Amino acid sequence: MITRGFTSQRSKSPRPLPPGQYYEEGFPVLSAGPTPKITPEQWEFTLEDRQGQVTRWSWTEFMSLPQDDIKTDIHCVDKWSKLDTRWKGVSIDVLLSEAGELQLEDYVMAFSYGGYSTNLALDDITEGKAWVAWEFGGKPLEPEHGGPARLLVPQRYFWKSAKWLKGLRFMSDDQPGFWEQAGYHMRGDPKSEERYWGD
């Protein structure tokens, strides 16, 4: 006889979710390593092109940029989805328009304090599709969720939303980041269930 110690109850989603996802009311923490301890004073964000041009923002400079309030669903490849999450942050469009002389490419590698990375197409993060977010639910983003600031790309699985974001580096071709090298999908679109290689 098999005894199950505990069966978690999954509540019904108020709205349809992408294929294979379930509704989650909590906010699970998923980190591949320890939480880097970065203060806003230490934090800086950079955009880097292939010619070696770099644009940098300190925390103070970043906070003086136009800020968006974002309400969006998020979808983790581990199959939980969280609806109507609220964030504040600076859109990638604003950062690109402020960046000046950089040479844009079709792809970027997002890289983090602590060593994490993830690849994205430029089209996936421009025109109102991605932010560098620093507030969640009306409070500064908790360190375990990526504070001081993380990437937020709601239209891709949540592993693409790099926590403790340090910068974006332009790439002429699509190279795999941390999880993509380990078998996660290069694009990661939840609508098409692009979880792993071959999906």
Ligand X SMILES: Nc1nc2c(c(=O)[nH]1)N[C@H]1C(S)=C(S)[C@@H](COP(=O)(O)O)O[C@H]1N2
Nearer to ligand X, 159 or 170 (CB): 159
Give the pair of three-digit tokens for residue 181: 């090298």
Nearer to Mo ion, 57 or 116 (CB): 116
* Binding of residue 63 to ligand X (CB under 6 A): no
Beta bridge pairs of residue 56: 46
* Binding of residue 20 to ligand X (CB under 6 A): no
Stretch that binds ligand X, among 1-9, 11-19, 26-34, 120-128 (CB under 6 A): 26-34
Which residues lie below 8 Å from residue 1, measured CB to CB, with a gap of 6+? none
Burial of 78 (0-12, 13-18, 19+ CB in 10 A): middle
* Binding of residue 185 to ligand X (CB under 6 A): no
Residue nearest to ligand X (CB): 116
Give the pair of three-digit tokens for residue 76: 């983790």
* Binding of residue 163 to ligand X (CB under 6 A): yes
Contact by Cβ (8 Å): 156, 187: yes
Residue 41 exposure: Cα atoms within 13 Å on the Cβ side: 0
Give the pair of three-digit tokens for residue 115: 């060593």
Stretch that binds ligand X, among 8-16, 28-36, 84-92, 96-104 (CB under 6 A): 28-36
Nearer to ligand X, 90 or 133 (CB): 133
Q: Rounded CA gap, 141 and 3, in Å?
A: 40
* Binding of residue 134 to ligand X (CB under 6 A): no
Stretch that binds ligand X, among 11-19, 57-65, 122-130, 157-165 (CB under 6 A): 157-165
* Binding of residue 28 to ligand X (CB under 6 A): yes
Q: Rounded CA gap, 132 and 88, in Å?
A: 8
* Residues of the shown chain interacting with ligand X in the complex, contacts defined by CB under 6 A: 27-32, 76, 112, 114, 116, 145-146, 158-159, 161-164
